[in-house]
């Protein structure tokens, strides 16, 4: 038996733990730069579709609801707390995203009751409400979870039995767009072929789907039939690419601004790189103009620079990134977003001493390593961006907009919740 445990309206729930006034009130969480609505409380869902740009929300509605900037430091820490509890109650847990994990259950556990029990413990330990869907494959567990959430009578736990009397009825009433792995494009193509609900898709020939679409859709069909064939890569396996990018608070064509942004993004990416004990062979720099301004000229260049030798040293990567930036920067465009991607990432121990690369001597490697370690430790303890490389103005025009940010209640002593008695 496979289960999917999913935190309800996760970002909103995190905010509510520390701000009970938000309970039973329509709340939305905005993406970076306070751009789009990326999470909604149940009370907000009837009024605002997912992903709606904040500026398009009518002002009379804005007055009745609460919109908050996203506070990823808080959500990341709360996620860790939830899944620490989950790991105590299920023998095999696969973390899938910040708010979801697949669980594997023993056949002899009285599953529904046991899941309800764990659900209560998670709520008690962390304040976060969760839903649990159970079935025989990951795709079906996702569907079960969807039902657990949607239909109040299940109280957040539902088991989808492929031999049960209502299995067909449930799948017939599920549009294919709700199935895990069916996105916008596939949905349109399948509907054009007359395949509209999950039951129809389940009855398609897997081989036909593989030939006309891909092995991915073939697997989905098999999973709907109860044949498990989707393996997940472990949440903790080191990343093969690391991206750091942000939109600017305001568009700019000033090279000095963009250099500053690229330095900051490169520092963030290099920190992630060191955290997973990896080194990178190359860095790709990219710029984007605003794609929503179709009347202005568009320019979305990118340029990859190979490192002279694989490294995790922020300074070396910044140097390469700045070189790449100067190759693609054109002052006649206004840029809306800039970022970098670390490519060809390998584990530190895989570093090959090859004949043609410039080899640093051991002493300088050691010295640079300790410098990076000190920077990481200080930033971890005293707040990210305490130590940065190169100049960083506090109020540059490209900085993110985060006007409604809550406190980092669980990770900063000076932002901890204060009680008055």
Partner DNA sequence: TCTGGGGTCCTAGGACCC
Please report, as residue ranges, which positions from 281 to 340 form the binding site for DNA (by CB under 7 A).
290, 292-293, 336-337, 339
* Between 142 and 408, CB nearer to DNA: 142
User: Which residues lie across from 278 on neighbouring strands?
Assistant: 347
Q: Which two tokens stand for residue 61?
A: 């509605």
* Between 113 and 214, CB nearer to DNA: 214
For residue 107, give the 3-state DSSP assignment: coil
Residues touching DNA, count (CB under 7 A): 48
Which member of 1, 19, 25, 32 binds DNA (CB under 7 A)?
32
For residue 128, give the 3-state DSSP assignment: coil
Which member of 45, 239, 323, 385 binds DNA (CB under 7 A)?
239
Half-sphere exposure of 299 (CA within 13 A, CB side): 12
Which member of 1, 35, 57, 255 binds DNA (CB under 7 A)?
35
User: Which residues lie across from 303 on neighbouring strands?
Assistant: 285
* Between 27 and 261, CB nearer to DNA: 261
Q: How far apart are CA 305 and CA 165, in angstroms?
A: 59
Alpha helix (H) residue ranges in 100-183: 111-126, 138-150, 167-172
DSSP string, 209-261: HHHHT-HHHHHHHHHHTT----PPPPTTSPPS-EEEEEEEEEEE--HHHHHHH
User: Which residues lie across from 256 on neighbouring strands?
Assistant: none
Strand duo 335-347 + 242-252: pairing:
antiparallel
Please report, as residue ranges, which positions from 356 to 415 form the binding site for DNA (by CB under 7 A).
none
Of the listed pieces 14-22, 127-135, 167-175, 176-184, which binds DNA according to CB under 7 A? Answer: 176-184
**Shortest reach from residue 107's CB to DNA, in Å:** 26
Q: How far apart are CA 135 and CA 141, in angstroms?
A: 5
- Element spanning 257, H or E: helix 255-275
For residue 397, give the 3-state DSSP assignment: coil
Which member of 163, 185, 236, 394 binds DNA (CB under 7 A)?
185
**Shortest reach from residue 361's CB to DNA, in Å:** 29
* Between 290 and 407, CB nearer to DNA: 290
Which member of 241, 298, 373, 380 binds DNA (CB under 7 A)?
241
Q: Is 272 in the site for DNA (CB under 7 A)?
A: yes
**Shortest reach from residue 182's CB to DNA, in Å:** 5
Binding site for DNA (CB under 7 A): 31-33, 35-36, 38, 51, 53, 55, 96-100, 142, 179-187, 210, 214-216, 233, 239-247, 250-251, 268, 272, 290, 292-293, 336-337, 339
């Amino acid at each position: 038996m496979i289960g999917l445990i999913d935190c309800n309206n996760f970002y909103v729930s995190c905010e509510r733990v520390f701000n009970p006034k938000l309970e039973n009130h329509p709340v939305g969480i905005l993406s970076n730069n306070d751009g789009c609505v990326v999470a909604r409380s149940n009370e907000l869902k009837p009024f605002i579709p997912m992903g709606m740009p904040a500026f398009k929300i009518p002002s009379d509605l804005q007055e009745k609801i609460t919109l908050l900037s996203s506070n990823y430091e808080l959500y990341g820490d709360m996620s860790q707390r939830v899944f620490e509890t989950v790991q105590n109650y299920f023998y095999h847990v696969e973390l899938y995203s910040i708010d979801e994990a697949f669980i594997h259950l023993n056949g002899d556990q009285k599953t529904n009751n046991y899941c309800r029990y764990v659900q209560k413990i998670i709520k008690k330990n962390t304040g976060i409400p969760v839903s649990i869907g159970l079935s025989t494959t990951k795709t079906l567990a996702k569907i079960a979870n969807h039902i657990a959430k949607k239909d109040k009578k299940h109280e957040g736990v539902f088991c989808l039995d492929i031999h049960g009397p209502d299995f067909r009825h449930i799948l017939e009433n599920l549009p294919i767009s709700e199935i895990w792995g069916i996105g916008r494009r596939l949905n349109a193509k399948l509907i054009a072929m007359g395949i509209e609900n999950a039951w129809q898709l389940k009855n398609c020939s897997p081989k036909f789907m593989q030939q006309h679409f891909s092995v991915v859709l073939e697997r989905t069909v098999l999973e709907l039939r109860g044949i498990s064939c989707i393996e997940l890569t472990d949440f903790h396996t080191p990343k093969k690419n690391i991206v750091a990018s942000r939109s600017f608070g305001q568009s700019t064509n000033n090279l000095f601004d963009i250099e500053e942004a690229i330095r900051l993004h490169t520092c963030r990416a290099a920190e992630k790189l060191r955290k997973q004990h990896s080194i990178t062979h190359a860095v790709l720099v990219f710029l984007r103009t605003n794609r929503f301004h179709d009347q202005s000229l568009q320019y979305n260049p990118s340029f990859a620079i190979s490192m002279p030798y694989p490294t995790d040293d922020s300074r070396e990567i910044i140097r390469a990134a700045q070189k790449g930036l100067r190759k693609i920067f054109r002052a006649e465009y206004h840029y809306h977003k800039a970022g970098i991607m670390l490519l060809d990432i390998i584990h530190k121990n895989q570093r090959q001493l090859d004949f043609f690369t410039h080899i640093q001597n051991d002493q300088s490697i050691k010295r640079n390593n300790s410098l990076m370690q000190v920077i990481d430790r200080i930033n971890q303890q005293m707040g990210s961006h305490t130590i940065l490389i190169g100049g960083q103005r506090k109020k540059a025009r490209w900085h993110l907009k985060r006007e409604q940010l809550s406190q980092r209640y669980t990770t900063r002593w000076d932002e901890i919740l204060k009680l008055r008695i």
